[in-house]
Each structure stands twice: as C-alpha cells, then as structure tokens.
Amino acid sequence: MNSFLNRRHFLSDTARGLGGIALANLLHEDKLLGSDGGPIRPVIDSGKPFASRHSHHPARAEKVLVIFCSGACSQVDTFDYKPELIKRHGQSLPGAEGLKTFQGEQGNLTRSPWEFKPRGQSGKMVSELLPHLGELADDMCFIHSMTGKTNTHGPGENFMSTGYTLDGFPSMGAWTTWALGTENENLPAYVAISDPRGTPQSSVNNWGPGFLPAAFQGTNFNASKPLGNLDRPAAFSAKTDRATRDFLQRMNERHLEQFPGDTELAARISSYELAARMQLSVPEVSDLSTEPKSLLREYGADDSSNPLKASFARNCILARRLIEEGVRFVQLFNGAYQTGGEGVSNWDGHKVLKEQYSKHGPVLDQPCAALLRDMKRRGLLEDTLVVWTTEFGRMPTFQKGASGRDHNPDGFTTWMMGAGVKAPFTYGATDEFSYKSVENVATVYDFHATILHLLGLNHKQLTYYHNGFERRLTDVHGHVIGDILS
C-alpha cells in the first residue's frame, strides 16, 4: 500500500511543487536563474518603448560605441605585426601556391608599405599608417584571431552587425536597445552615424531592427547631414508650435483611453512624441559650434586641407556628444560604398593599396584617436565600451597582377577599449604571415556574446520568438571571451 500515492503524500508533493514554481518565478524576476535557463525577454511598455530596463546580471558597460571601418581594413597594414612576413617578402605563401581567393589568383607574400613601431609602455607594434591610434595602444584590448563566414562585403557587414550573412536580421544595436532601452528619452536609443560620403555597402541592414519591433531600428544621421523634417515651418512661431504639440498630445491620450489594450497605437503615439522631442534635442546635440576651437583642432575638424577628414572628425565629435547624453548604442562608420571603381571611399584596397590607404588612413587616424582621448578625459570610458571592427581582413599576399590585397575572413583584428576589458592586452593570434587564425580562434558569435555580456545580457537567453524559432544575436553559437574581461 505504501507504494501508492495516498492523500497526504499527494497534498505534500503538490505543495512542494507549487513552492518550487513560485521560487523559480522569483529567481527569474530577480535575474538569478542560471545561464542555462529559458528565454529572458524584456517587459516593454508600449507607451514608453525606450524606457531604461534592467540587465540580466550586473553590467560592466552601460553604453557602446562601435567604430566600423567599412570595406575590410587590412590587419596586415595596421595592427597585426608579422616579422616573418617582412623576412619572406616576395616569396610564395608556403603551401598555397596558385591559391585563388575572392578576386582570383594570389601573387607573392608582400610586407606592409608602412613600418611597424613599438607603442607605449607595452611596446605593442602598430603601423605608421595609424600613428595617432598607435599612441593609444596601452588602452586597447586587441583580438588578433577573429574569423568570419564570408569573403563578400555586403554579407560580411551583415554578419558583423547582425550575426547573420543574410538580410533581415536585427543588428546588435537593435538587440541592445530592445533589451535595455536608453537613459535619454529625448534622443534615439540607437544612432548610426554614416560616413560623410554615404552609407556602407549593406546600408540599413547594419542598423536595422530585422524582426524586432521597428522602434528599435537605429536612427541614421551625421554631423554634415542632420535628420530631415525636424525644423518647424517658418510660418509658425515656437509658441504656436508648442501649443499645437500639447493639443495633439491631449488628443492622443484621449484616443488611447478608448483602446487601452492597443499596443500598436500606443507605440505609434510614442514614436510621434519622440519625434517631437527630437525637434529640440537633435539640433542641439548636432550643433558643434559650441565646441572650443582647441578641441576642433585636436580632432582635425578644422583641417581645410583635408575636407573629408574634417567631416569625419565632426562625426567623431557627434559620437562623443551622443554617448555623453546617454544614447545607449552608437555606430560610427568610417568608409562608404560607392560604385564606379575604387578611390578612397572605403578600405577595399584591391588594386592600389598604398595609394588608397595613404589617403584614407589619415581620415580615420587623428579624428578617431582624438575621440578616444576626449572620452577618456571626460570619464566616459568608465561606463562605455568602445569597439573597433571591420567586416573581415586582408591577405598577406598581393593579388596577381595588382598592388593590393584580396579579402580574407580567416584571420583579422578587432579591438576593444573602455568599460570591462583588460588593457593593454592581446588575445589570440594569426599564423606567421597573418593568413589564418591559429591561437584562441575567435568568431563573430564570440565577439557579440562578449559585448552583450559586458552590457549585462546573457546572449543565450536574450531571445525573440520568430517564425517558430527562438532567435538570438549569436544564433546557436558563441561564448564569452572571458580572458579579455577585466
């Protein structure tokens, strides 16, 4: 008889089961469940979709600035020093004779046209192509073993920005702002600052919301081209404009009261209200006339001899101001896609690498270095993670019949700086020629998992149910690169 469930045992087991369910629910609400738990989705007020929300675990970084060098910036000519490549310049890549890559057959190993020199107390070797950034090597955490999944620019940008090579997936900024909201509800939670020359090759996919709610798409503008349609018509006074907006807000509130469960209506009203607040906030944050001349000079924003550098420098100042104002995620692009041949539009150095990079390097170097120094002075790096990346790397060889390097997703460099990462620090390595990652090989999934971790988010549990799948930024892959965390 004891083997059967009697009334007392039934009631006792039921009570324990209900208690366990209650305990699990409390642990979930307090974000204390283990990392192998189920999905953790943000609870979003449709009327205030950008309100600040709790992270899964204590965050090391509150904001992120991504500096994206579009066009595949060559690690061989910037941050990945290889003495053996210098020694064996002009020889064949061992074991790869006749190798064909993205644009065809490869020629011989080719050393960088720029010398590498030791920088800072750490002695980190950085190319003379980027002398200003090289001076900050002691503040950087280098990942020299990054790998990608494609050797094509559009899919490569997609992969770096969204974790997928295909179009239509949410960007890392969209995932972040969906999960965490923002600290400044008068500005967009997520801003993409496009290059002065235009957008990257994959364009809006780099900052798109994918299947997440459209509100979490990045807002694209730069210092030279502010958001359009924000200025009030000249025929209306500021007082009339304000009175009109107040009246519209009261009407919207009454309308919403009639449909209390309509989240789409609430979200639409909220987006209109944000647009109204942006009429004041965006022009103010974009107005660089209040910056001292000494700071403009430090960034190179007053360099009349190089208008492209001056324009990018103003974008860098805008990025700092947005971070300073509490914008959660800022994506700063250096390089744009332009049809009709190479030139200096981006870092795609296939044919005449030395000529192209000699013009493009200075556009990035001084403004970007000034941005990092300025952020450090202001204490912004204490709660901001800065990430420098590109979509993939370059070959250690020159293409046969050309004076440039072909695409290489098998080994390239990224670096981080600021909140939560070690510095100076180097993680991973490519082989002796910077051809393939061979030590502590890292993937873009690992890269994304680490960024989310520093923001206090568990990459395995931050999911969105879409078309029968629990989707996440890292797909079903990725691990946090624990060795680089401070």
Report the SS3 class of residue 468: coil
pLDDT at residue 263 is higher than 70: no
Interatomic CA distance for residues 117 and 119, integer angstroms: 6
Interatomic CA distance for residues 376 and 77, integer angstroms: 26
pLDDT at residue 174 is higher than 60: yes
pLDDT at residue 33 is higher than 70: no
Interatomic CA distance for residues 461 and 463, integer angstroms: 6
The chain-wide mean pLDDT, for the chain, equals: 88
Winning range, highest mean pLDDT, from 24-38, 239-253, 358-372: 358-372
- The CA-based angle 23-28-33, given to 5 degrees, is 90
**Across 67-76, 103-112, 185-194, 335-344, least confident range:** 335-344
The 10s digit of each residue's pLDDT in 392-430 is: 999 999 999 999 999 999 999 999 999 999 999 999 999
| Residue 390 · residue 113 · CB < 8 Å | no
The residue-averaged pLDDT of 112-135 equals 98
- The pairing of strands 442-443 and 437-439 is unpaired
pLDDT of residue 28: 47
What structural domains and CATH numbers belong to the chain?
63-226+292-484 (3.40.720)
Tracing tokens 């993409």 back to the chain, one arrives at 192
pLDDT of residue 264: 62
What are 401's two structure tokens? Answer: 């019949």
- How far is CA 183 from each of CA 19, 53, 56, rounded to the nearest angstrom? 37, 9, 17
- How far is CA 441 from each of CA 255, 264, 370, 427, rounded to the nearest angstrom? 55, 44, 31, 9
pLDDT of residue 275: 64
pLDDT at residue 190 is higher than 70: yes
The 10s digit of each residue's pLDDT in 129-155 is: 999 999 999 999 999 999 999 999 999
pLDDT of residue 164: 98
pLDDT of residue 140: 98
Nearest to 199 by CA among 418, 345, 351: 345
Cβ contacts of 37 within 8 Å, gap of 6 or more: 28, 461
Q: Which secondary-structure segment (H or E) carries 143?
A: strand 141-147
| Residue 445 · residue 478 · CB < 8 Å | yes
| Residue 459 · residue 448 · CB < 8 Å | yes
pLDDT at residue 442 is higher than 90: yes
Type of residue at 292:
P
**Across 91-105, 114-128, 159-173, 261-275, least confident range:** 261-275
Q: pLDDT over 70 for what percent of the chain?
A: 83
- Phi and psi at residue 394, to the nearest 5°: -130, 160
Radius of gyration of the chain (CA): 25
**Across 25-34, 189-198, 446-455, least confident range:** 25-34
Beta strands in 188-265 (DSSP E): 190-193, 219-220
Provide the sign of the torsion angle of the four alpha carbons 359, 313, 389, 154, taken in this order. Answer: negative
Provide the sign of the torsion angle of the four alpha carbons 426, 427, 433, 435, taken in this order. Answer: negative
Nearest to 461 by CA among 447, 439, 478, 444: 478
Report the SS3 class of residue 57: coil
pLDDT at residue 35 is higher than 50: no
pLDDT at residue 444 is higher than 90: yes
What are 146's two structure tokens? Answer: 């990054």
Type of residue at 178:
W
Q: How would residue 45 be classed by pLDDT, with cut points 50, 70 and 90? A: confident
pLDDT at residue 436 is higher than 60: yes
Cβ contacts of 26 within 8 Å, gap of 6 or more: none
| Residue 425 · residue 141 · CB < 8 Å | yes
pLDDT of residue 342: 47
pLDDT at residue 333 is higher than 50: yes
Q: How would residue 209 be classed by pLDDT, with cut points 50, 70 and 90? A: very high
pLDDT of residue 228: 58
Greatest alpha-carbon pair distance for the chain in Å reads 95
Q: How would residue 3 be classed by pLDDT, with cut points 50, 70 and 90? A: very low
Q: How would residue 104 be classed by pLDDT, with cut points 50, 70 and 90? A: confident
pLDDT of residue 225: 77
Provide the sign of the torsion angle of the four alpha carbons 18, 20, 25, 26, taken in this order. Answer: positive
